[in-house]
């Protein structure tokens, strides 16, 4: 059921690796950098299922620790973030987390395409100076995720497009 989602995450991870190999001097993304993580996240039902599947591979103690930390997390930071600025569910992190830091093409308020990135990255020439095949198209990624989520929802008997607070997903891991 999660195979298509795993294919999508693998493609985004490979894309990130390509950008990192070509533009290493322009990326500041590294373990412990949590600049992008100071917000509450919602996830799609397929992302929540992937997180639960990953959690099933952890010990009950690890699941309980993640759940406890998510319960204690304040509203201004991701519920998966640990005190050292690392993701507690990195292997199962949502799509948005996998693409943070990359040059991303999206539309502005006037529906015009713009390229943006984390303010720590591509500081010398801006993110639009990245190789054209190193700019992630946000509309394409969002569309692909919506299609995978719709298929998952159909199989799971839930409503496509529903989003769940990540903290809620994580706080229930101790119960699994």
- What is the full DSSP assignment across 83-131? TTS-BTTGGG--HHHHHTTS-EEEE-TTS-EEEE--TTSSTTT-GGGS-
Q: Give residue limits of the domains in the chain.
A: 3-175
Other Cβ atoms within 10 Å of 4 Cβ, number: 15
Cβ atoms of 108 and 58 within 8 Å: the answer is no
Q: Is a pLDDT exceeding 80 seen at residue 176?
A: no
Does 127 have pLDDT greater than 90? yes
Q: What is the average per-residue pLDDT within 99-110?
A: 94
Question: Running DSSP on this structure, what letter comes out for residue 46?
Answer: H
The model's confidence at residue 19, banded by pLDDT at 50, 70 and 90, is very high
pTM to 2 decimals? 0.93
Per-residue pLDDT, averaged over 42-52, amounts to: 96
pLDDT of residue 143: 96
Asked if 38 and 121 touch (Cβ cutoff 8 Å), the reply is: no
pLDDT at 24 > cutoff 70: yes
pLDDT at 175 over 90: no
Which pLDDT score, from 0 to 100, does residue 64 have? 95
Helix (H, G, I), strand (E, B) or coil at 43: strand
CA distances from 27 to 9, 57, 67, 91, 121 (A): 20, 32, 31, 20, 5
Query: Which secondary-structure segment (H or E) carries 133?
Result: none
Mean residue pLDDT across the chain: 94
User: Could you tell me the pLDDT band of residue 147, with boundaries at 50, 70 and 90?
Assistant: very high
pLDDT in the model for residue 125: 94
Instruction: State the pLDDT at residue 1.
Output: 64
Q: How confident is the model at residue 167 (pLDDT cuts 50, 70, 90)?
A: very high
Q: Is residue 132 over pLDDT 80?
A: yes
pLDDT at 63: 95
């Amino acid at each position: 059921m999660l195979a298509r989602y795993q294919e999508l995450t693998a493609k985004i991870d490979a894309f990130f690796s390509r950008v990192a190999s070509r533009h290493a001097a322009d990326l500041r993304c590294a373990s412990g950098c949590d600049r992008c993580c100071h917000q509450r996240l919602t996830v799609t039902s397929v992302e929540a299922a992937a997180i639960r599947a990953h959690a099933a591979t952890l010990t009950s103690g690890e699941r309980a620790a993640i759940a406890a930390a998510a319960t204690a997390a304040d509203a201004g930071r991701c519920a998966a973030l640990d005190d050292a600025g690392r993701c507690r569910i990195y292997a199962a992190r949502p799509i948005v987390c996998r693409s943070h830091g990359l040059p991303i093409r999206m539309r502005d308020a006037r529906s015009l395409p713009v390229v943006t990135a984390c303010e720590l990255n591509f500081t010398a020439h801006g993110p639009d100076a990245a190789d054209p095949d190193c700019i992630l198209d946000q509309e394409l990624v969002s569309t692909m995720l919506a299609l995978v989520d719709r298929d998952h929802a159909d199989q799971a008997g839930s409503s496509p497009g529903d989003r769940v607070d990540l903290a809620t997903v994580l706080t229930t891991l101790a119960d699994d």
